[in-house]
Structures are given as C-alpha cells and as structure tokens.
Amino acid sequence: MNVIFRSKIDARFKWMGLLMPAVALLALFGTQPGNRLLWIPVGMMFLATVLVCWTLVATYYELQHDRLVAHCGPFIWRIPLADISAIRASRSIRSGPALSMDRLEIIYQGGKILTISPADKAGFMMALRQRAPHL
C-alpha cells in the first residue's frame, strides 16, 4: 500500500504563486495595443506561472513498497529504500522537491542528497522506518 505525504509550503512560496499571474496580467493590460512583440515576455511569464503553480499543487512524497518517489511538478525522483543510508533534519537552501525550509535530507547511494519537506514529518519518518528498518 502506497502512502502519500504532501509537502509543507512556506508562505513566501504561496505568495510567489499568487503574484506571478498578477504580474503577467498587469504586463498584458499595461502596454499599448498593437505591440506585436508583447507576446514574447507575456508568454514567458505565463509559462513560468504555470510551472510555479504546477509545482505548488503537485509536490508530494510517495512511499511505495520498495522506494521513495518524490514528485515536484514535472520532476520525479525515484529512490530505492535499500539505497537510503540516513535521514536528517535540515534547514539547508539546497535545491530539491521541498517547498518549505523545514526540511529533511535523504542521503542515498553513497552520498547523494535529496531535500524534502513533508508536512507531517513524524508520520513520514514512522512510515519510512516501517518500510526501511535499516534506518
């Protein structure tokens, strides 16, 4: 049975997700009509907005029978539980599928690190230890 844990989301990430569409709309309506090159920056802002919103909505961690799968918008990390050597609390700014600074670092495959930020850290740790007792 798979268990899913949503990511904790800091307020600044939520605000960024709300402000980006507002900036795109202001840019669209704040320019002179007939400017044909406007679609380039507005289109880029729209794509960035879609990526940020997708990331905010679809960042979660799935504990499957034999692996941890971290989803972050269009990106996916698959880590076999047998490859995980340690897990520790962190406030690192390291990039990863974490939307909060209240993070966990997953150390796997001889030193690789994946940072995650499950909203229910205690529940995540308990479920991980049940599936990977070597931790």
Q: In the beta sheet, which residues pair with residue 107?
A: 86, 113
Structure tokens at 51: 């990526």
Does 69 have pLDDT greater than 70?
A: yes
Residues 91 and 108: beta-carbon distance below 8 Å: no
Confidence at residue 114, expressed as pLDDT on a 0 to 100 scale: 95
Residues 52 and 16: beta-carbon distance below 8 Å: yes
> Any idea where the domains of the chain sit in the sequence?
1-135
Confidence class for position 19, pLDDT limits 50, 70, 90: confident
Does 35 have pLDDT greater than 70?
A: no
* DSSP output for 60-88: EEEE-SSEEEEEETTEEEEEEGGGEEEEE
Fold of 1-135: PH-domain like (2.30.29)
The predicted model scores a pTM of 0.82
Q: Which of 130, 135, 122, 127 is nearest to 62 (CA)?
A: 127
